[in-house]
Amino acid sequence: MDRSEFVSRLDEELDTDAYADLDASPNGLQVGSAGGEVEHVAFAVDAAVATAEAAVRAGADALVVHHGIVWGGLDRVTGRAHDRVAPLIREDVALYVSHLPLDGHQELGNAAGVADLLGLDDREPFGELGPEYIGQRGMLAEPATTGELAATLDSDLHHDGEGVQVLDFGPDEIEDVAVVTGSGSDWLDEAVEVGADALVTGEGKGKAYHEAREAGITVLLAGHYATETFGVRALQELVEGWGLETAYLDHPTGL
């Protein structure tokens, strides 16, 4: 497949342009020219030296990630930035990034993947960010305790030895669940406003403890990396349907 067609297909599927003014990450093609062919695509959560070198070893023509290497501008390609870019440029491996668009996609996104894992019904977009959303909300098929919900997340997510942290300040039985993956504790107030019993996210800020306690809502911190493997995995399946060879590069951080 022509590289420009590959990029265009992903941009269209992920509605990349809708997040252009909302995201510190410049989404889409971050490294590489528009020319060339793509036959083998590697997928990873993070663009790092480890995943760039793994993509080269896998013989990939493109690396698709959730977290790219540019955040709000790139002044110099030195140090860490150089080390991450060098193997990609040297071996002509394109880097495609989808940050907030992949969080907010209601079918392929990270929050949608967590919602699938929890079996949420009656879903709707959640996590307002300007005119867009970066999460999802739904109802458990049957009420569950905080412990049961945490156990599901703990057993099915890759934590690299770290478990799910719980701020257990909500009702004894949870039914209504809001999900914003990664660092999503800033949407705690919105979860309270819509009547959610629990907010599932990756990691929390220090203020989340008292905010959750005072609001009477449960917060489950299931790991930034662990909650954000779903989107790139879903894109891998999508791209396989285009007839391309793929590989998933699992590099958990424990965070």
Annotated binding site for a divalent metal cation: 66-67, 103, 224, 228
> Vertex 70, ends 91 and 239: CA angle to 5°?
60
Q: Which residues are annotated as a binding site?
A: 66-67, 103, 224, 228
Helix (H) or strand (E) holding 45: strand 40-46
CB 19 within 8 A of CB 132: yes
- Residue 116 is encoded by which pair of tokens? 């699938």
Report the C-alpha gap between 247 and 45 in whole angstroms: 12
Report the C-alpha gap between 26 and 30 in whole angstroms: 7
Report the C-alpha gap between 187 and 213 in whole angstroms: 15
Report the C-alpha gap between 186 and 127 in whole angstroms: 9
Report the C-alpha gap between 223 and 204 in whole angstroms: 9
Report the C-alpha gap between 91 and 89 in whole angstroms: 5
CB 133 within 8 A of CB 179: no
Collect all residues with Cβ–Cβ distance below 8 Å to 151 and sequence separation of at least 6. none
> Vertex 110, ends 16 and 96: CA angle to 5°?
40
